[in-house]
Amino acid sequence: MSPSSAPSPEPVSSLVNDPDEFPRLLHASAAHGGNGRIRLAIALAVVSCLLLAVVVAGRLCASIAVATNFTAKNIAPCFEHPFGTDWMGRDMCARTLAGLSTSILLGLVSAGVSSVIACVLACTAALGGARVDAAVEWLIDLVMGIPHIVLLILISYALGRGFWGVAVGVAVTHWPSLTRVLRAEILQVRTQPFIACSQALGVSRLRLACDHMLPALLPQYIVGLVLLFPHAILHEASITFLGFGLTPEQPAIGVILSESMSYLTSGAWWLSVFPGLALLFVVLLFDRLGSLLRRLMTPGEVQL
């Protein structure tokens, strides 16, 4: 058959106009999107299970992480001790898992509180009028104008360090960026016609925020909450490394890295390499989790 005699593809318009073909066209599009969502959901479940496994393993290894054995100190990585042991004979694999578990739980508390602060301030700024908006913007500029790590250290140290001191410090200092994102989203939603209709009908600002604004903010809020986790974990490790965070008695990654600095010159490289790589792995997992959530909640990304 010559190319000129080959049947031409049926135009999309004819498919749309044909009632028998129109469902088939929609079915193909829906199936493609469904496959995209399934793949994203599977990847999201795998990443979530990995993070959950780290937390559970860290909780189970809590007693092993602090157990000392001076007959097995400074052992290089081997089959019995995959991450080696430290100068007190403590298993570094157990200490690393316990430290990561503590960091993840701390990140959960601090990121959750920080995201709630951001959501409340964003709704207040976008719905409270020009003066309230200016006040919230001034507060955001004030917090962002102070060096982040300095403010975090001051708050943590003033509250006596420890788990709750670091958690409060991280929560109080990590809301400004998310507040601006949520505020911009609310301002965009305010331009929608249904908001103008609700205001014309006399719907209160509180009901507007609860019934219309918060559901529209949910995708951005969830993604922003997840992306706060790596920042919280890294800042916790940073101030703990500097001596202003968690106490040395707690098996935290910052404590492990800080203590290992004194033994690097003696050749005990495993004391810092494996905990550092494990911290990087967890941070990348949270980053991947946020990316998957963003794609899952964006219709255009699901079709890719």
H or E segment and range at residue 117: helix 92-127
Range with the largest mean pLDDT of 39-53, 64-78, 246-260: 39-53
SS3 205: helix
Give the lowest-confidence range in 57-61, 90-94, 131-135, 296-300. Answer: 296-300
Radius of gyration of the chain (CA): 26
SS3 1: coil
Q: Is the pLDDT of residue 27 over 70?
A: no
Handedness of CA 201, 203, 205, 210 (dihedral sign): negative
Domain map (residue ranges) of the chain: 30-67+85-302
Compute the half-sphere exposure of residue 163: CA atoms within 13 Å on the CB side of its CA. Answer: 14
Task: Return the structure tokens found at 177.
Answer: 């960026």
* DSSP, residue by residue, 254-278: HHHHHHHGGGGGGT-THHHHHHHHH
CATH number for the domain running over 30-67+85-302 = 1.10.3720.10
Handedness of CA 243, 247, 249, 251 (dihedral sign): negative
Q: Is the pLDDT of residue 6 over 80?
A: no
Q: To the nearest whole percent, how much of the chain has pLDDT over 90?
A: 5
DSSP-based helix, strand, coil % in the chain, nearest 5? 75, 0, 20
SS3 304: coil
Q: What pLDDT score does 233 carry?
A: 85
pLDDT tens track for 169-194: 888 888 888 898 888 888 888 777 87
| 53 confidence band (pLDDT: 50, 70, 90) | very high
